[in-house]
Every structure is written in structure tokens, then in C-alpha cells.
Homo-oligomer: A and B are copies of this chain.
Amino acid sequence: MNAEERIEKARERVIEALSKNMDLYGVTPSIGRLYGILYFNDGPMTLEEMSDALGMSKTSMSTGVKTLTDLKMVEKTWKKGVRKDLYRVEEDWYETFSEFFCIKWRKGSDMNLAAIERSLTELQAVIADEESSEEVKAVAQKDIERLQQAQEYYHWLNRLVDAFETGEIFNHIPRKE
């Protein structure tokens, strides 16, 4: 095996591992490999180059790159004189990690907190209602306690996200040992 092939194989191994673990980011192995190709490529790539490299349609590259861009893992760049769109990976993986989980966690947190708050209000109304029986009130009370616990958890999650967004997390868990 010559040197070029050995390098290629070394890349292939890492790309394969990468793409297998990208499901953590909710990304299919195909898109994972796309990311891997972009990761090892010197400089940005066009949709056509990706298409050639992976043997997949340009349409798939377009949607794949869109997914990765939405996840802030890839960004569009621009080079003078080049008409085609160019894309490159966000090289800072700490940033990629934070961006991804912050977006997801914050979204989940917001949605669930909103639902919880509305439901808490309603349950409190049930308890305040003169017509509610004692049994019903007890059920409502139990749900309220459950939801308050959940609320506390989501507030914690929000603070965790804050720590990632501000970079404060790196004071606690430093980048280098």
C-alpha cells in the first residue's frame, strides 16, 4: 500500500467512526460522512465536489449541507471569482458541541416550560374551584408537585445552557488538562 492510500485509509477510518456517532447529533450516517469529507478537505468545497467525493446526487448534497448548516457544523463561505457556493466545516469542535446542544436543550426547555406553566395555572384553578371534589383536588395537587419538580429541572438546564453559551463551562472543565 502506498503512502497516498495509507493516508486515505487513515482518513476513512476516522470518517467512518465520526459518521457512526453523528446520530447523537440527530444526523444520518450519510450526512455524517459528508461532514467527514468536508472535515478533511483542505479549504471549502462545492456541492459538485462533495457529490463526486461521495458518489451521491447533488440534491442530496444540497439538503445535507443545509442540515449541517442549520446545526452550525458547516458554514457557507465565499471566494472571489468562484460562482458556486462554497462550504467548510466549523473547525472548533468545542463551539460545534456547544452550539448544537444549546440550541436543542434551549428549545426543549422553552417548549416544556411553556407547557408546564400553562398546565400549572390550570391545575391551580382546579384546586381553587369550589366545585372540585377532594379526590380531584388531591390528584391535581400531586400533578402540581410533579410539574414543579420538572420546572426546577428545566431551570437548571437553562443555567447549564447559559454556562455553555457564555463559555463559563470552560472555567470548570478546562479545554486542556
Q: Judging by beta carbons under 8 Å apart, are A93 and B123 in contact?
A: no
Does any Cβ of B come within 8 Å of A66's Cβ? no
Q: List, in ascending order, chain B residues with CB within 8 A of A24's CB.
A: 26, 104-105, 108
Between A and B, 8 residue pairs with Cβ closer than 8 Å are: A3-B129, A10-B122, A16-B115, A17-B116, A21-B108, A21-B112, A94-B153, A156-B174
| Interchain CA distance A94-B94 in the complex, whole Å | 23
- A156-B131 contact, Cβ under 8 Å, with A119-B14, A122-B9, A126-B3: no
Query: Would you call A45 an interface residue if the criterion is a C-beta within 8 Å of the partner chain's C-beta atoms?
Result: no
Cβ of A86 under 8 Å from chain B? no
A61-82 toward B: CB 8 Å interface, digit per residue (1/0)?
A: 0000000000000000000000
A52 at the interface (CB under 8 A from B): no
Contact of A156 among B10, B142, B175 (CB under 8 A): B175
Q: Which residues of A contact B (CB under 8 A)?
A: 3-4, 6-7, 9-11, 13-14, 16-18, 20-21, 23-24, 26, 39-40, 42, 91, 93-94, 97, 104-105, 107-108, 111-112, 114-116, 118-119, 122-123, 125-126, 129, 131-133, 136, 139-140, 142-143, 146-147, 149-150, 152-153, 155-157, 159-160, 163, 169, 172-177
A-B complex: 10 closest residue pairs judged by Cβ atoms: A17-B115, A21-B108, A10-B119, A172-B172, A93-B153, A3-B136, A3-B132, A10-B122, A17-B112, A13-B115
Q: Which residues of B contact A10 (CB under 8 A)?
A: 118-119, 122-123, 126, 143
Selected contact of A6 from candidates B4, B21, B126, B152, CB within 8 Å: B126
Contact partners of A3 in chain B: CB under 8 A: 126, 129, 131-133, 136, 140
